[in-house]
Amino acid sequence: MKILLAALNAKYIHTSLPLRSLKKYAFSYEKYIDTEEYTINNDEKAILEDIFEKNPDVVGFSCYIWNINIIMDIAENLKKVLPDVFIFLGGPEVSFDSEKILENNSFIDAVIRGEGEETFRLLASFFINGKPALEHIDGITFRNEEKITANPPRSDISLDSIPFVYDDVSGLENRIIYYESQRGCPYNCQFCLSSIEGKVRFLSKKRTFSDLDFFIKNRVKQVKFVDRTFNCNKKHAHTIWKYCMENDNGFTNFHMEIEAHILDDSEIDFLKNARRGLFQFEIGVQSTNLQTLSVVKRNCDFETLAHKVKKIHEGKNIHVHLDLIAGLPFEDYSSFAKSFNDVYSLHPEQLQLGFLKLLKGSGLRRDAKKYGIVFDEKAPYEVLYTNEMPYSDMLKLKAVEDIVETYYNSGKTVNTIFFTVTLFPSPFDFFEEFSNYWHEKNYHKFSHNKQELYKIFYEFCLQSNYSKDSINEISDLLKYDYLLSDNLRALYFWLDDDINIKDFKHDFFNNAENVKKYIPHLYSYSPSQLSRICRVSLFKYDVLSYNWDIPSEIKKKDTYVLFDYSNRDIITNHASVFGINKE
C-alpha cells in the first residue's frame, strides 16, 4: 500500500504545513506514506507523469483557491491513467461543498472536511488494515458506488496531540517555514473563513517553547506563523514574544498576523526591546471606510489602529506589512483612494493592495447579491465589480497595484517615492498617474531589469513637468535608492557624477583611519577588496538628513556617502550608509 500526499504550493519558497502535519499525526503508518510538493508553476503534465511513476494506491491533494483548478485537472487525468487509484481532497477550498464536488467530479472518491489529522489517520488505517469502514470515519464525504455519503463532522483534537512536524530543515534553508501555535479566530470578518469556528485553541506553553527551540537552534531564516490572529490572546502572544526575545539567535525572524488595535501601549513598549528584524507584523486594515468596516464586521477605527502602528514604528525594529482589500461593499473608487492614502501615511514597509476573494463559506459570498458583488465563479473567486466599483475602476486599481508592487513594496525606490508624492495632491494620485503612464507606454506587457525600472521612473517624472529643482532632487534620490539596493557599477548618465571623485574614492579606501572609523569590521580587507564590497558616491543634495515625515525640499549640499554592502539592513535589505566628512 502506497499513500501519496501532494501539495501544489503557490511558489517554490513556500512549504506545505498540512502535508507534514497529516503524515506526522499518522506516524503509525508513516512507512506507507510519501509526500510530494510541487508548485502551480510546474507543468501539469510533468506533475501527472511524476505521480504516475510513483504508482500510488491512494493520492490526497491539499486544496486552496490558488491551486484547486490545477489539482482538478491533474486528478481527472490521474484517474484515467491509474483507474484504480483512490483520490481524496482536503483543505479549506473543499470543506464547505464536499457533496457538490463529488457530484460534479466522478474522479474524486472522498473529501476530508475541516481539521484533517485524525480523519486522515483513520483513513490511512482503512486503506492499510481495512478498518474502520469509511462510513464510521467522521469528517469525510465519500463515494460508495453511486451514493454520496457525508459523515458527521469531526470533533476538535488537542493541538498538543499533533507531533512537531519538522525533523530537520536541511533543504529548506531558502524557503519559508510555516508554523501554528493556535487554530481558529474569535473575530467574525465576513470575507474570511476563520470566523466560522468562533473559538480558538492553543498549543501549550511547554510544547510551544520546545518547537521554538528547534527553529532557533537550527537557525531557520524565517518562521511564518499561520495563526489567523496571533495576538487574540494577549497572554499567549506575550509569552511567545518574550521567549523569542530571550532566546534570540540573532538570525531567525518570526512573522505574525496581528490585530494592531488590541495591542496595549505597554505591549508595544515591550516589543521595542526586540532585536531589529526579529519580528514582522502583518496587519489587515482592509479599509478605512466606516460603513464598509461595519458591514464586514471589522470593529476597529482607523485612528486607534494608526496610533498603534505609529507606536510600533517608533521602535524602528519591526517590519510592518499593512493590507487593503479592494471590492468591499460600499467602497467606491474615491473611497478606496482615501483608504489608500490613510494607510500610506503610516509608511509601512509593505502596502498590500489586494482584491476581494469570495471564499466558499464566507459571509460576503453568502450575501454577494445583497451587496451587488459580482465575482468570477472559478477559483480564486475574485471580485469583478460591485454596486460601487465598476469593472473599469477595478482595472485601474489593478494598474495601481502593479506600480505599488514594483516600486514601493520592492523597496527599490521608496525614498524617491516619499519625496515625489509630495508633488501630487495625494499619494494615491501619484500612483494612479504613474500607473496610467506605465500602461500608456505598454510597460506592463514586458519584464524589466533593475536599471530599466529606474529609467522609467525618471522618464515619468520628466514628462510630469516638474520644476528643474524637483527633477534634480528626484535624480539624486533615484541614485541614492539605486545604490542602497545594488552595487551596480554602471549608472545612467543622469545619475553618475562619481567619475569626478575617482581619486577621492581611491584615497578613501587606502586610508586605514577611514576604514577604522567607518567600517571597522572590514579593517582586514585590502583597498581593492573594499572598493568591491563598498562604494563611495557623491550627491548634490543632503539625502541622508531629509525628514520624510515632514514634506519639504531637500537641502542642496554636496554629500559624500559610503555604502557598505557587506552589512545590509535586515528589514529593508538596504546597504548600511554613512555620511563622509571630506575634510
Q: What are phi and psi of 35, to 5 degrees?
A: -125, 150
Residue 348 CB coordination number (10 Å): 23
Distance, in Å, from the CA atom of 254 to the CA atom of 221, rounded to the nearest integer, reads: 9
Q: Using the 3D structure, point to which of 344, 363, 389 is the last residue of a domain.
A: 389
Distance, in Å, from the CA atom of 136 to the CA atom of 151, rounded to the nearest integer, reads: 8
pLDDT recorded at residue 491: 74
- In this structure, the answer to whether residues 200 and 136 fall within a common structural domain is no
Distance, in Å, from the CA atom of 275 to the CA atom of 245, rounded to the nearest integer, reads: 7
**Is 486 a member of any domain?**
yes
pLDDT recorded at residue 552: 63
The SS3 assignment for 93 reads coil
CA angle 318, 235, 118 (to 5 degrees): 100
- In this structure, the answer to whether residues 107 and 225 fall within a common structural domain is no
pLDDT recorded at residue 549: 65
- In this structure, the answer to whether residues 136 and 185 fall within a common structural domain is no
**Is 243 a member of any domain?**
yes
Distance, in Å, from the CA atom of 105 to the CA atom of 8, rounded to the nearest integer, reads: 19
**Is 501 a member of any domain?**
yes
- Per-residue HEC secondary structure of 389-425 comes to CCHHHHHHHHHHHHHHHHHHHCCCCHHHHHHHHHHCC
pLDDT recorded at residue 173: 86
- CATH number for the domain spanning 44: value is 3.40.50.2300
- In this structure, the answer to whether residues 181 and 322 fall within a common structural domain is yes
Residue 29 CB coordination number (10 Å): 18
Residue 453 CB coordination number (10 Å): 18
DSSP 332: -
Type of residue numbered 534:
C
Measure CA of the first residue to CA of the last residue in the chain; give whole Å.
Answer: 77
**Is 450 a member of any domain?**
no
- In this structure, the answer to whether residues 101 and 9 fall within a common structural domain is yes
- In this structure, the answer to whether residues 30 and 174 fall within a common structural domain is no
- In this structure, the answer to whether residues 371 and 494 fall within a common structural domain is no
Residue 261 CB coordination number (10 Å): 19
Contacts of 232 (CB under 8 A, 6+ apart): 182, 185, 186, 187, 200, 259, 262
- CATH number for the domain spanning 364: value is 3.20.20.70
Pairing of strands 534-541, 383-385: unpaired
**Is 273 a member of any domain?**
yes
- In this structure, the answer to whether residues 20 and 68 fall within a common structural domain is yes
- In this structure, the answer to whether residues 200 and 320 fall within a common structural domain is yes
Q: Using the 3D structure, point to which of 363, 389, 415 is the last residue of a domain.
A: 389
| Residue numbers of the domain that contains 72 | 3-150
Task: Name the nearest CA neighbour of 115 among 207, 25, 210.
Answer: 25
pLDDT recorded at residue 466: 85
Q: Where are the alpha helices (DSSP H) in 446-511?
A: 450-463, 468-485, 502-509
pLDDT recorded at residue 546: 74
DSSP code string of 497-536 = -GGGGHHHHHHHHT-HHHHHHH-GGGTTS-HHHHHHHEEE
- In this structure, the answer to whether residues 145 and 204 fall within a common structural domain is no
pLDDT recorded at residue 301: 86
**Is 262 a member of any domain?**
yes
Q: Where are the alpha helices (DSSP H) in 56-116?
A: 68-81, 98-104
The SS3 assignment for 189 reads coil
Contacts of 449 (CB under 8 A, 6+ apart): none
Q: Using the 3D structure, point to which of 150, 175, 196 is the last residue of a domain.
A: 150
Tell me the pLDDT of the chain (583 aa) as tens digits: 999 999 999 999 999 999 999 999 999 999 999 999 999 999 999 999 999 999 999 999 999 999 999 999 999 999 999 999 999 999 999 999 999 999 999 999 999 999 999 999 999 999 999 999 999 999 999 998 889 999 999 999 999 999 999 998 988 888 999 999 999 999 989 999 875 666 899 999 999 999 999 999 999 999 999 999 999 999 999 999 999 999 999 999 999 999 999 999 999 999 999 999 999 999 999 999 999 999 999 888 899 999 999 999 999 999 999 999 999 999 999 999 999 999 999 999 999 999 999 999 999 999 999 999 999 999 999 999 999 999 999 999 999 999 999 999 999 999 999 999 999 999 999 999 999 999 999 999 999 988 899 999 999 999 988 888 899 999 999 999 999 998 877 777 666 667 778 889 999 999 999 999 999 999 999 999 999 999 999 999 999 987 666 656 788 899 999 999 999 999 999 999 999 987 6
Type of residue numbered 324:
L
> Measured in whole angstroms, how far is the alpha carbon of residue 78 from the centre of its chain?
32
Contact 355, 324 (CB under 8 A): no
- In this structure, the answer to whether residues 306 and 173 fall within a common structural domain is yes
**Is 398 a member of any domain?**
no
**Is 363 a member of any domain?**
yes
Contact 323, 394 (CB under 8 A): no
User: The C-alpha cell of 174 is what?
Assistant: 531558502
- In this structure, the answer to whether residues 55 and 110 fall within a common structural domain is yes
Distance, in Å, from the CA atom of 563 to the CA atom of 578, rounded to the nearest integer, reads: 7
User: The C-alpha cell of 146 is what?
Assistant: 453511486
> Measured in whole angstroms, how far is the alpha carbon of residue 222 from the centre of its chain?
12
Contact 356, 373 (CB under 8 A): yes
Type of residue numbered 171:
G
pLDDT recorded at residue 583: 62
Half-sphere exposure of 332 (CA within 13 A, CB side): 4
Q: How many domains does the chain have?
A: 3
